[in-house]
């Protein structure tokens, strides 16, 4: 699927650097970003609604061509969603890099693979589908960036079959930059019940060893406590002797 001249528009506003942080923006339902690239002399800090960006991202995907209107500009700019930063824990988008481009300009971007069809090795033989690659790096004109690259897995009929990058069909205007010999998909043989049990046993922790460690730790604590008590006893005796001396 070729993006050609994108009609998908993202409305953004300029922001003052350092005035609002990513965490504060998230609480307000906003995302921070930056626009740089073709015909932009100085990077433009941006801020825009999270819901609007998520909608655009769902329609296009990362690395594809969109139009960006900054403020009240009459003519939106062609740009690529170049990089998306996510929150370490929540996974929410917190920052986006947009690269302004010319439609006829050649760019290098990553696009996702879209696996289609049904593998006979999975359907008929009960195999396990293995996807080794999610995105590939390509080079093409900005107007020709595909949203995704389809990969037909119906050719995986046996456990010996593999799909390499060189096997997929790319549009004539798109050049592959990754190693064409890379394996992107295959089907593993199903594991027997015995193999699954062995894997579970290997993965399961040795309870006795864990308990032993705990016991040793507890014993060490108990020993330390008893030694402290022993040290305290003479002090108590000395205190009692002093008190008796005072009474006398």
Q: Which residues of 73-89 are buried (b: 16+ CB within 10 A; e: fewer)?
A: eeebbbbbbbebeeeee
Q: Are 2 and 146 in contact (CB under 8 A)?
A: yes
User: Which pLDDT score, from 0 to 100, does residue 67 have?
Assistant: 92
State pLDDT tens for residues 94-116: 899 999 999 898 999 999 999 99
State pLDDT tens for residues 16-65: 876 777 778 878 889 999 999 988 889 999 999 999 999 998 888 778 88
User: Which pLDDT score, from 0 to 100, does residue 46 have?
Assistant: 93
User: Which pLDDT score, from 0 to 100, does residue 205 have?
Assistant: 63
User: Which pLDDT score, from 0 to 100, does residue 16 have?
Assistant: 80
How far is Cα 107 from Cα 137, in angstroms, rounded to an integer?
10
**Burial of 225 by CB count in 10 Å (0-12 exposed, 13-18 middle, 19+ buried)?**
exposed
Residues of the chain with pLDDT under 70: 1-6, 18, 195-196, 199, 203-248
């Amino acid at each position: 699927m070729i993006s050609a001249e994108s009609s998908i528009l993202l409305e953004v506003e300029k922001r003052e650097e350092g005035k609002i942080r990513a965490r504060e923006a998230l609480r307000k339902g906003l995302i921070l970003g930056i626009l740089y690239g073709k015909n932009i002399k100085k990077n433009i800090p941006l801020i825009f609604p999270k819901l609007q960006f998520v909608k655009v991202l769902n329609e296009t995907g990362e690395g594809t061509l969109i139009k960006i209107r900054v403020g009240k500009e009459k003519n939106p700019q062609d740009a690529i969603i170049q990089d998306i930063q996510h929150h370490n824990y929540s996974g929410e988008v917190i920052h986006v890099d947009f690269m302004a481009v010319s439609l006829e300009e050649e760019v290098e971007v990553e696009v996702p693979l879209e696996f289609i069809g049904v593998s006979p090795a999975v359907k008929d033989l009960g195999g396990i589908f293995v996807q080794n690659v999610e995105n590939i790096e390509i080079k093409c004109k900005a107007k020709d960036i595909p949203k995704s690259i389809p990969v037909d897995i119906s050719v995986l009929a046996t456990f010996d079959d593999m799909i390499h990058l060189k096997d997929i069909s790319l549009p004539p205007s798109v050049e592959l930059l990754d190693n064409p010999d890379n394996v992107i998909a295959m089907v593993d043989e199903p594991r027997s019940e015995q193999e699954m049990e062995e894997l579970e046993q290997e993965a399961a922790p040795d309870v006795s060893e864990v308990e032993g460690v705990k016991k040793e730790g507890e014993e060490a604590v108990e020993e330390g406590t008893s030694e402290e008590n022993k040290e305290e006893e003479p002090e108590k005796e000395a205190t009692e002797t002093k008190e008796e001396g005072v009474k006398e």
